[in-house]
Each structure stands twice: as structure tokens, then as C-alpha cells.
Amino acid sequence: MAKLEIRCPVCAKWDNIEILEDATKDVKKGLLAVNIAPGMICDHSFIAYVDKNLTVRDCFIADFKIEAPEADPSQKKDKKSPPEAGSIKIDLIRMNVPEKLLVFILKAIFIKKKIILLSDDQFLYNHVINFFRFVMQDLFDFDMLVMSEGVYKKTKKLYDDYIIFKENKVIHDNNKIIDKKKLKVEKGITQKFLAEYELAAGLIILKNEIQKAYEFSEDLAEFISGTHKEALTTKLLIDHINEKRNEQIQKDYLTFLLDIVKNYFKVEIPNIDGVTDFLDFF
């Protein structure tokens, strides 16, 4: 048996509890949820999350109702203001949302596709949704559900227009939106976030990159809508961003932005040599 020092997040009372030493043997990238019942440490009930090294990573109050698809398959999107940075469990996200999955999710949000994440760890639901609400900061609107694979299989007909992810795999993607060969910019954004040793700094970088993507693509959407489309060229669009934002973007990033312009802002993109060939994929 292994002893864990657990501190109550409500009253700060602590004590040691015992768990089997191999209880986390199947915990690879996630956390083991340990239910702390009233009387074990104090009068409160909460959940302790333990990693594979038997280190307590976080404690979470359990006296609330999680709004998850098991209870309501027609779950409505939360319209509350974005959460504060201090409430985001960045380490929990890093451990449970693999790099490839984060790249896929960013791609789907940037082009306004509805998303389902399949996970049996329902405690992750609020953390994942709050994370994306924070980094999207009321810029990119997104529609995301987290549900168990069992619930999805029973109700999958309701979600035919969603892109479905499980871990780092694409389970359902009717229009073949997620092409691993065409996610260079999304991958770069994700790697900047994950490369930061300081978790808070990584979160700020990710938030800033998303804000940049939104504002630059919004600029292009307005510019293209108000310009004679026959006169548009790659150079003209790059020069427009340089003049307005004082940043020289590369052709790959322009293509990324125009993908957002077309699919998120719903602005028709004219024929532009070397750019619309890619966008025609969608």
C-alpha cells in the first residue's frame, strides 16, 4: 500500500490515506481520480487527482452537478463570460489533451466545425471546456461536447455533422477536414504553448496566438469584402496585414488565415494563385 498526503480544498485539514501501489498502473497520460468521502479526512467530500508517480496534482470539490451529455444529449453551450486564468488547470490539460488532439481541435474551431471529445473521464469536462473558453476569449465561437464513448454510440445519429475525436484519433469526419499534412500553422501554435516550461506563460502565448489569428483573419475578411476581387493577389493581402498590423506574414500563414476567412467568417475567396488551390480542398 502507498500513503498519500491529502489536504481538503475547503478547510485545509489534511491526513494520509492509503491506496494500492499499482492503482495507477494504467495511468499513462491522465490522472487517477480518488474519491474522498466525508469522514476520511474531514466533513467534506472531494476528489483528489493522483498522477502515475503517486503525486497529488489537484483536489476538486465534488458537490456540484456536471452538465454532461449522459444527462442531456442536447446539451447547450455555456454563454457565461470566459473564466479567469487562475481557474484553468493547465497541467491537467497538458496531461489529458495530447499535442495532436490540440492541433485537431484548434483546426476545427478555426473553421467553425462542431466538436465532440470522447472520454470516460467525465471530471475533465469542465476543465476542458473552461480551457478553450479562456484561450478563445469570446473571439472564436465554438461548439464542443465531451461525452463517453458509450453515450456517443447510443446517440451518434444526433451528431453526424460533428467532428469526433478520441485521444489523438479522428473517429468521425464526414468532409475529411482534418488533414494531418495541412496543419503546419496549427501545429506551430500548439508547440509554442507546450514548449513553455512555465505553464502560465504557455497559456498566455496560446491565447495571444489565437487572438492574432482572429484579428488578422477578420482584417482580411473586411478587406476582401470591400475590394474588387479581381485585383486581389497574394502580395496585396500580405502587404495589407503588414500595413495594418506591422507584421510580415509568410505565405503559409496567409493560407491559414484565408481558410478562417472562408470557413469562419463565410467570406468568398477569389482565385489567388498558390492560395486558393489549397482552400478549394474545403
- Average pLDDT rounded to a whole number, residues 47-70: 62
Q: Which grid coordinates are listed for 96?
A: 489529458
What whole-number distance in Å separates Cα of residue 105 and Cα of residue 212? 17
Provide the strand spans (E) within 8-141.
14-19, 32-36, 46-50, 56-61, 114-118
Q: For residue 35, what pLDDT is reported?
A: 76
Tens digits of residue pLDDT in 166-197: 988 999 999 888 998 899 999 999 999 999 88
Q: Which pLDDT band holds residue 281 (cuts at 50, 70, 90)?
A: very low
Q: For residue 201, what pLDDT is reported?
A: 85
Residue with cell 462542431: 114
Q: pLDDT averaged over the chain?
A: 83
pTM for the full predicted model: 0.70
Least confident of 7-11, 74-78, 107-111, 152-156: 74-78
Tens digits of residue pLDDT in 9-46: 778 788 888 777 776 666 554 567 777 878 888 888 77
Q: For residue 45, what pLDDT is reported?
A: 79
Name, in order, each residue with C-beta under 8 angstroms of 54's C-beta and a sequence gap of 6 or more.
Answer: 2, 4, 19, 21, 24
134 and 85 in contact (C-beta within 8 Å)? yes
- Average pLDDT rounded to a whole number, residues 240-255: 94
Is pLDDT at 152 greater than 90 in this prediction?
A: yes
Least confident of 8-22, 60-74, 180-194, 222-236: 60-74
Q: For residue 62, what pLDDT is reported?
A: 47
Q: By C-alpha distance, which of 34, 71, 50 is closest to 146?
A: 71
Is pLDDT at 245 greater than 80 in this prediction?
A: yes
Is pLDDT at 90 greater than 90 in this prediction?
A: no
Is pLDDT at 70 greater than 50 in this prediction?
A: no
